[in-house]
């Protein structure tokens, strides 16, 4: 599954300008995830002025939620140059808040390493509830 997710993300990665502004773009990062039910969803980031936009993982999760799925088995994000990157802190939290069971999601953090989300997000605010 790791190689399928990497391939699916690479297929949609590729930065392109938005609205003619130098700093507005999309597709610089792409993400792919597979749910516990075995469905694959993908997304690309959007970066626009005034700090708006969102990460590729957010877009992939939105696609997943459209199908009323929440539990993620594995996820990857990579740049438009094909380099795998770990999720940012906000995305780590987002994965968890979509479904607490995602604390066990396998996160591809490099070509050679897969870590459970709980190792990337060791102390959650929800632990106190």
* Residues of the shown chain interacting with Zn ion in the complex, contacts defined by CB under 5 A: 55, 88, 91
Q: Angle at the Cα of 39 (from 62 to 114), degrees rounded to 5?
A: 85
Q: How far is the CB of 36 from Zn ion (least distance, A)?
A: 22
Structure tokens at 119: 């190792």
Which residues does 71 contact at the CB level (< 8 Å), separation at least 6? 35, 36, 37, 99, 101, 102
CA dist 46 and 109 (Å) reads 21
Q: How far is the CB of 106 from Zn ion (least distance, A)?
A: 17
Q: How far is the CB of 1 from Zn ion (least distance, A)?
A: 21
Q: How far is the CB of 29 from Zn ion (least distance, A)?
A: 8
CA dist 13 and 1 (Å) reads 18
Closest CA to 40 of 74, 81, 82, 17: 74
Closest CA to 54 of 31, 80, 86: 31
Nearer to Zn ion, 91 or 98 (CB): 91
């Amino acid at each position: 599954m790791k190689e399928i997710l990497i391939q699916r993300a690479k297929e949609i990665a590729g930065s392109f300008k938005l609205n003619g502004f130098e700093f507005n773009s999309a597709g610089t990062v792409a993400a792919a995830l597979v749910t516990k039910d075995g469905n694959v969803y993908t997304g690309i980031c959007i970066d626009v002025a005034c700090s708006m936009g969102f990460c590729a993982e957010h877009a992939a999760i939105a696609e997943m939620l459209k199908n009323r799925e929440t539990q993620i088995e594995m996820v990857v994000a990579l740049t438009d140059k094909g380099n795998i990157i770990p999720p940012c802190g906000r995305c780590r939290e987002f994965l968890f808040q979509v479904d607490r069971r995602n604390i066990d999601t396998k996160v591809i953090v490099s070509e050679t390493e897969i870590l459970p989300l709980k190792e990337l997000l060791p102390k959650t605010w929800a632990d106190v509830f």
